[in-house]
Structure 1
């Protein structure tokens, strides 16, 4: 019997998905949560074989849970189950070494197959995300430029970015000018959108 844990912040979907998976003879749902922090604590106690995690949840995101499980409970197989087909999220999931990353609009049979596959030691990723990663354009920004843009995307002012990255205000302004030029963006908001769309942030 494969023990499952489901963390999904939409209660209706949480209940429906748990019900569907329970219909399988070899699957049992040992716990569910709508809050990421609660999910992490319960997973530590319940020790499921597979944890199915949504990304956007109160408390902790599914990606944060995945990273902590990889460090603390690597025996738990993690499948990210989300509506987000963003390359940046997918990259973070891969870096957390999740066993699966599936989109919610897929058939439930795909999820059931994925659960059995990850238990057999395989990885299962949504094909459209793998293709998107392969076709992704190269990041034209240097690591330092990416750090500056990420800090700006986090809502920091030039002065705060300078303090955080140990740079002068003038250097931050120069970096931002170079970033806008490289991304052909007219302002920092557009630069952030371009970088996120391409998975560079």
Structure 2
């Protein structure tokens, strides 16, 4: 029985290249090639996909959100995430969701095929560059409170709203934000959010 593979990639050329590459393998069968994230789950269920190869940045629903939904609806379908960036934040989120593999889009063909077979068999596949970047990111310098405040700010709340939500004074919230900016060596609050998200700390 061949491994039934679903591919979701919004860039047509890359999607077609992925499909053509995988179809060269006798033990792999492409059951769907999608360009949107909001069609992944229903299509995977309908085609009884064994493995879903998902781009992170997809229209409709991003790859990681779709992966989380797929884990709920079709737990038997293994997931391999494709990304163009070695982002430890994405890697951390993917790991929490239960994704089986995480590879860079510029990986050599043989590495991609090996990752597909490994993940389909229940193993884990992680691009070495991603692993190194994640290790280098290290532990967060932020306290739990600073992290929570920064997460609320990233979600769109202003300091006064954060203060009300967390039952803190406005001044305390401003102090937490100032400390977070300093610890992350950021230029401002927006830069601090970006740095913390990239490192996977919020």
> What TM-score, normalized to structure 1?
0.91
Q: Structure 1 residues 114 and 137 mapped into 2: Cα distance closer, same or farther (>3 Å)?
A: closer
Deviation at 1:83, TM superposition (A): 0.6
Task: Tell me whether 167-176 or 115-124 shows the greater mean CA deviation.
Answer: 167-176
Deviation at 1:166, TM superposition (A): 4.0
Task: Tell me whether 189-198 or 98-107 shows the greater mean CA deviation.
Answer: 189-198
Equivalent residue, structure 1, for 2:25 = 24
Equivalent residue, structure 2, for 1:168 = 169
Task: Tell me whether 3-12 or 16-25 shows the greater mean CA deviation.
Answer: 16-25
Determine the C-alpha separation between the residues in 2 that align with 1:167 and 1:73. 42
| Paired residues for 1:2-151 under 5 Å | 2-151=3-152
SS in 1 for 2:39: helix
Determine the C-alpha separation between the residues in 2 that align with 1:194 and 1:118. 30
Work out whether residues 86 and 133 of structure 2, in 8 Å CA contact, stay in contact via their aligned partners in 1. no
Moved over 4 A (4+): none
Determine the C-alpha separation between the residues in 2 that align with 1:48 and 1:130. 27
Determine the C-alpha separation between the residues in 2 that align with 1:41 and 1:143. 38
Deviation at 1:142, TM superposition (A): 1.4
Determine the C-alpha separation between the residues in 1 that align with 2:100 and 2:131. 14
Q: Structure 1 residues 162 and 3 mapped into 2: Cα distance closer, same or farther (>3 Å)?
A: same
SS in 2 for 1:139: coil
Aligned length: 201
Deviation at 1:88, TM superposition (A): 0.2
Work out whether residues 54 and 62 of structure 1, in 8 Å CA contact, stay in contact via their aligned partners in 2. yes
Deviation at 1:181, TM superposition (A): 3.1
Determine the C-alpha separation between the residues in 2 that align with 1:193 and 1:31. 35
Determine the C-alpha separation between the residues in 1 that align with 2:165 and 2:179. 19
Determine the C-alpha separation between the residues in 2 that align with 1:13 and 1:71. 28
Work out whether residues 100 and 125 of structure 1, in 8 Å CA contact, stay in contact via their aligned partners in 2. yes
Equivalent residue, structure 2, for 1:190 = 191
Work out whether residues 32 and 39 of structure 1, in 8 Å CA contact, stay in contact via their aligned partners in 2. no
RMSD: 1.7
Q: Structure 1 residues 155 and 109 mapped into 2: Cα distance closer, same or farther (>3 Å)?
A: same
